């Protein structure tokens, strides 16, 4: 894939991830069966978030490991790394969205909570990488995301070229992914409200402009 094609694809997935269907509201939470969790995994495999997350990881890798001889230089190296991260991301989704949530009886989904004040809402969205719903309904430590992310990164050590192997590098990559996901949670939490406000403003401007005409 040519650099321009990779750049265009990343931009498309960013737009889809931001403008896509809003995440469900917390008030509509209900537990999932194992089969329903599998459908969550399948949906996430072709979700814009998966493609976008791979792009963010590739940008991070390109900035930190510019001299890695396993990859081409410049944007070509970014494209190579993006493809590898996409494959790793699919493994990550399997562990975090299906296998671990099923074994640990936890919910892999993110739920928006627009009823909170802004600051509490921001903290809520960030905290969801560490807290989730158990199938029983109580809130619990999000072991599915932490352990699932660690397992997928450990497997990536077996086939991804240029990776530093061992527990410390794995913890570093898991930590970066948690920070990335916390940021994406904030985007999904607030973007529907921002988008609604922008559409209302544009509608008002068009209406005022048509009256002047």
pTM check: above 0.75: no
Task: Write the pLDDT tens digit of every residue in 116-161.
Answer: 999 999 999 999 999 999 999 999 999 999 999 999 888 877 766 6
Could you give the number of structural domains in the chain?
Answer: 1
Look at residues 156, 188, 195, 183 and name the one whose alpha carbon lies nearest to residue 172. Answer: 156
Which parts of 25-133 fold into alpha helices (H)? 34-45, 48-64, 74-94, 100-104, 118-127
Q: What is the CA radius of gyration of the chain?
A: 19
User: Domain range holding 7?
Assistant: 3-212
Whether the CB-CB separation of 168 and 178 falls below 8 Å is answered with no
Whether the CB-CB separation of 73 and 64 falls below 8 Å is answered with no
More confident residue, 102 or 58: 102
Tokens 């978030």, residue? 49
Q: What's the average model confidence in pLDDT over 164-178?
A: 81
Task: Write the pLDDT tens digit of every residue in 71-109.
Answer: 555 555 555 666 677 777 778 889 999 999 999 999 999
Contacts of 153 by beta carbon, 8 Å cutoff, 6+ apart: 88, 92, 170, 173, 174
Backbone angles phi, psi at 32, to 5 degrees: -105, 145
């Amino acid at each position: 894939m040519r650099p321009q094609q990779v750049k265009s694809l990343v931009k498309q997935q960013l737009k889809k991830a931001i403008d896509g269907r809003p995440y469900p509201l917390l008030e509509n939470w209900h537990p999932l069966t194992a089969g329903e969790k599998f459908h969550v995994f399948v949906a996430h495999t072709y979700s814009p978030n998966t493609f976008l997350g791979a792009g963010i990881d590739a940008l991070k890798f390109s900035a930190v490991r510019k001299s890695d001889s396993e990859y081409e230089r410049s944007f070509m190296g970014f494209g190579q790394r993006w493809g590898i991260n996409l494959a790793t991301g699919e493994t990550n989704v399997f562990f975090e969205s299906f296998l671990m949530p099923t074994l640990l009886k936890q919910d892999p989904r993110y739920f928006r909570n627009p009823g909170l004040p802004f600051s509490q809402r921001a903290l809520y969205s960030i905290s969801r990488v560490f807290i989730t719903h158990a199938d029983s309904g109580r809130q619990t430590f999000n072991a599915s995301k932490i352990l699932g992310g660690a397992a997928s990164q450990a497997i990536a050590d077996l086939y991804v070229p240029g990776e530093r192997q061992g527990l410390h590098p794995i913890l570093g990559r898991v930590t970066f992914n948690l920070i990335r996901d916390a940021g994406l949670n904030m985007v999904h939490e607030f973007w529907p409200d921002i988008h609604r406000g922008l559409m209302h403003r544009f509608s008002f401007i068009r209406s005022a402009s048509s009256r002047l005409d």
